[in-house]
């Protein structure tokens, strides 16, 4: 079974995450950090994070994709990265 890292943030990415989780090993979900929302600026998780937690998939929420995070992800080892409306640009060394 492929070990997949999924990257996404908005609700439109949730069905894709669910479909992947049904048939593959999604080893982690990469999503943007929780953000203040609404009038009271309540810290709110992304829809993808909520879904990942419901599916018991580990969630990673780096502020930026720096060298430390890239090294950690490479050490964890994954077969492929699937991204859907993530909102950040991956550096070449992360994709290699």
Helix segments in 1-96, DSSP class H: 14-23, 47-54, 67-76, 92-95
Do residues 2 and 24 lie in contact, with contact meaning Cβ atoms separated by under 8 Å? yes
- pLDDT tens series, the chain, 96 aa: 788 999 999 999 999 999 999 989 999 999 999 999 989 999 999 999 999 999 999 999 998 888 888 888 888 888 899 999 998 888 887 887
Do residues 12 and 31 lie in contact, with contact meaning Cβ atoms separated by under 8 Å? no
Residue 17's nearest CA partner among 60, 45, 47 is: 47
CATH architecture of 3-95: 3-Layer(aba) Sandwich (3.40)
Domain range summary for the chain, segments of one domain joined by +: 3-95
Cα separation, 61 vs 48, in Å, equals 11
Residue 81 pLDDT:
92
């Amino acid at each position: 079974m492929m070990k997949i890292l999924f990257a996404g943030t908005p609700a439109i990415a949730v069905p894709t995450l669910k479909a992947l989780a049904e048939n593959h090993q999604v080893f982690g979900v990469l999503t943007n950090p929780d953000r203040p929302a609404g009038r009271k600026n309540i810290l709110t998780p992304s829809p993808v994070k909520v879904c990942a937690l419901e599916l018991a998939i580990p969630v990673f929420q780096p502020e930026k994709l720096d060298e430390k995070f890239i090294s950690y992800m490479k050490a964890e080892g994954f077969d492929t990265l699937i991204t859907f409306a993530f909102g950040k640009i991956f550096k070449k060394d992360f994709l290699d």
